[in-house]
Structure 1
Amino acid sequence: MKVRAVEFIALSVPLGTGKAYGMSKSLAAGRQSTLVRLTLEDGTAGYGEAWGMPAVNKAYLPFLSGYLEGCDVFDIEHAFGRILARHYHFGLQNGMMHAISGIDVAAKDAQGKLLGLSVARLLGGQRLRHVPIYASGGYMTQTPAADYRPQIERMAEAGHKAVKIKIGLSPASDEERMGIAREVLGDDVEILADINTNYTYDIALEAMERLKPFRPGWIEEPLCPQDLDGYGRLRARASLPIAAGEALYTVHDFKRLVECGGADILQPDLSLCGGFWQGRKIAELAHASHLRLSPHVWGGAVGLAAALHYIASLPVFPHADNIPKPVLLEYDLGDNPLRTELLKSPIIVEGGCIAVPEGPGLGIEIDEEAVARYAVD
């Protein structure tokens, strides 16, 4: 079945005055994403999501469509490989890979609909029906002193068993924020901490030493993604697990991180790393390297659904019946209508888990009224 057309729909939601939130490096005043619709000759439509600035993604569409329109949807990964091989001067860490990522997710959704299979089964078999989550919150805001503790208290009230907080302003601030989180959440909640690449090696090492008494489950992105030597040195000295990978593209980037011994947990984002096409290779790299994996998700509902199917398809080796630390899905607690309103049946958390959407493909149905509400030129 051949691809008839690929469309990119730019989506944007401003958060409003005083509602910006984010990380150590910056705050976000809105949420945006690119919804990908891939239509086959018989009218079957698959949906994906691409990271980054929608205008940049849309600029790549005419170029990519020349390769993809008329391509059999089951052969689309070969088309991607041809694009990267022929246009190697473009590089990989750019909007073209964002666009390819969203197109690949849409193609897998369409394949599943044609075959009557879930994407998880297409990727290697659906092991899970429910995926455990960690709640991603504790954001930086415009008034952090007033806003931080209430965010953590809401996490405690919701009963989340694993959470992630934002740190990275300074080692002293990290210690204070982690101390508040541990005080409010108690000893039994796993607390993950995200620096968002704001430190150099020496500062990261100091911060990790300060945080050790609070037993964080991992320290995420302590260094910038280009500092592979720093990641290797830091992991050799640190006594806390290191997670990284949300800003890495294709299995080649992840291979370099693994080879330098820089991480304990790999974090591919399917909306930028190369979709399921590269995500599957990254999972195999983690498997062969005996490393944990936890995909990064900070987008809309389609990206969240894709991550659910991805996790549901992953093997648990070297574990068997007893899994000490299951793969967790990142569930963003920030205000985001592109996550909560884009589907006719929203993806919701129940009992610390999310049910993998049932049905062929991604198992989701796009709410076209919501798309029209948030679409921008």
Structure 2
Amino acid sequence: MATIERVELQMIDLVPKVKRVDAIQSFVSQETPFVTITDSDGAVGTGYCYTIGTGGPSVMALLEHTLAPALIGRDPERIEGIWRDLMFLTHATAVGAITSLALAAIDTALWDLKCKKAKIPLWKAAGGVRDRIPLYSTEGGWLHLEQQALVDDALAMQSKGFRGSKIKIGREHISQDDARLGAVRAAVGASYEILTDGNQSFVLSEAIRRAQVLEEHRIGWFEEPLPSDDIQGHVELARRTSVPIAVGESMYSISQFKDYLQTGAASIVQVDVARIGGITPWLKVAHMAEAFNVMVCPHFLMELHLPLVCAVPNAKWLEYIPQLDAVTSMGMRIEDGFGVPSDAPGLGIQWDWDAIDAMSLGSRTITEGA
């Protein structure tokens, strides 16, 4: 039996290629912790997570001082057991973003290692339902962009075969969101999907008002209309509108998704593999949503989510926001508006380690247990 001998930790800060502004924040940087696990057979797996500009050092501290030392000597194939042990090891700080992000970096590294040793790509190892998934673009729909820029980007993506675009909403007055969405709808026609994202910026009464506008423009979903901990507010909003309610990027446990699904507070699950704590819990949420006949359309991390949405039967979309171009030797494969997962063993991400090392903000190697 092979055991884990070494855990390498490092973090880089990726600056977005374009300005990204939504109703509550601006993305000025993306701290990206990496975990690389080597077992006694010499097999290597790499995982990662992310924060939007802050919190990365806290994730790294939890990995260095608590989680990584607990991996030494463990059987890397016992992924579920490791995940549970590490969760209970950090029970005083869970459920929460820092713990989930740290767990995700480890869990994705273990899945990468397992798939590489088995010589199978993640999308097949996790289910292998489909070999491609339709893309929608968020990168040209940010809140600061003017109306014509939104139209131009949606038309450009439509010409590339994309099936939809997401537009950020939450301008000061409802009429501004109305005009922006109306202009895009008029340009792209009825068959192109327009999705919207409020980024938790509304109170319930205003969300109900905005949902009426979304219905008029035949919007595909209303994402994060309210703060994520307001389940009852989402229940009431879902009752008052025909626009599907999408949630998930700000939720950090399986149980939180269970509460939304049981109460009918959401009809689209946007579980984020980094924020839920890795591939292991991501698959559980996806299959739980399947039991409720609910779609899974994950948030961000397109390179990592691509094999996962191709693994499960209830996924419909992959969100296009380029993230890793500066640190990969090969970009995500796109054909006629579809994301196509790699057949290479592992996660399917081809890391450029020279670029990562050059951008590193610090590293640590763990070879002895706690």
Same fold (TM over 0.5): yes
For residues 24-81 of structure 1, give each alpha carbon's deviation from its aligned partner in whole angstroms, at most 9, with x where no partner exists: 1121223332222222222222122212232121111120013212111111321221
CA distance in 2, matches of 1:89, 1:196: 28
Q: Which SS does the other structure have where 2:215 is aligned?
A: helix
Report how far residue 375 of structure 1 moved: 2.3
Report how far residue 218 of structure 1 moved: 0.7
Report how far residue 112 of structure 1 moved: 0.5
RMSD (CA atoms)? 2.0
CA distance in 1, matches of 2:144, 2:177: 17
1:354 aligns with 2:343: no
Q: Which residue pairs with 2:366 in the alignment?
A: none
Q: Which residue pairs with 1:100 in the alignment?
A: 103
Q: Which moved more, 1:137-146 or 1:186-195?
A: 137-146
Aligned residues of 1:174 and 1:211 also touching (Cα < 8 A): no
CA distance in 1, matches of 2:271, 2:27: 21
1:28 aligns with 2:36: no
Report how far residue 345 of structure 1 moved: 1.9
Residue type of the alignment partner of 1:286: A
Which of these residues, 295, 319, 323, is aligned with residue 330 of structure 1? 319
Which of these residues, 233, 237, 240, is aligned with residue 236 of structure 2? 233
**Aligned positions, number:** 356
Residue type of the alignment partner of 1:152: A
Distance 1:127 1:143, change over 3 A: closer
Q: Which residue pairs with 1:139 in the alignment?
A: 141
Q: Which residue pairs with 1:155 in the alignment?
A: 157
For residues 316-337 of structure 1, give each alpha carbon's deviation from its aligned partner in whole angstroms, at most 9, with x where no partner exists: 5xxxxxxxxx6111111xxx5x
Aligned residues of 1:68 and 1:76 also touching (Cα < 8 A): no
Residue type of the alignment partner of 2:80: E
Aligned residues of 2:13 and 2:31 also touching (Cα < 8 A): yes
Q: Which SS does the other structure have where 1:33 is aligned?
A: strand
1:200 aligns with 2:185: no
Distance 1:13 1:68, change over 3 A: same
Aligned residues of 1:309 and 1:356 also touching (Cα < 8 A): yes
Q: Which moved more, 1:174-183 or 1:151-160?
A: 151-160
1:42 aligns with 2:41: yes
CA distance in 2, matches of 1:143, 1:131: 27
CA distance in 2, matches of 1:143, 1:305: 25
Q: Which SS does the other structure have where 1:246 is aligned?
A: coil
Report how far residue 367 of structure 1 moved: 1.0
Report how far residue 232 of structure 1 moved: 0.7
Aligned residues of 1:131 and 1:311 also touching (Cα < 8 A): yes
Q: Which SS does the other structure have where 2:324 is aligned?
A: helix
Q: Which SS does the other structure have where 1:254 is aligned?
A: helix
Q: Which residue pairs with 2:82 in the alignment?
A: 79
**Unpaired runs of 5+ in structure 2?**
363-370
Q: Note the 1:1-377 alignment, pairs <5 A.
A: 1-14=2-15, 20-52=19-51, 53-61=55-63, 62-123=65-126, 125-140=127-142, 144=146, 147-169=149-171, 170-297=173-300, 299=301, 304-316=302-314, 327-332=316-321, 338-377=323-362
Report how far residue 141 of structure 1 moved: 5.7
Report how far residue 153 of structure 1 moved: 4.2
Aligned residues of 2:154 and 2:165 also touching (Cα < 8 A): no
Aligned residues of 1:265 and 1:293 also touching (Cα < 8 A): yes
**TM-score normalised by L of structure 1:** 0.88
For residues 130-179 of structure 1, give each alpha carbon's deviation from its aligned partner in whole angstroms, at most 9, with x where no partner exists: 22211123433656467444433433443422111111224222212211
Aligned residues of 1:135 and 1:163 also touching (Cα < 8 A): yes
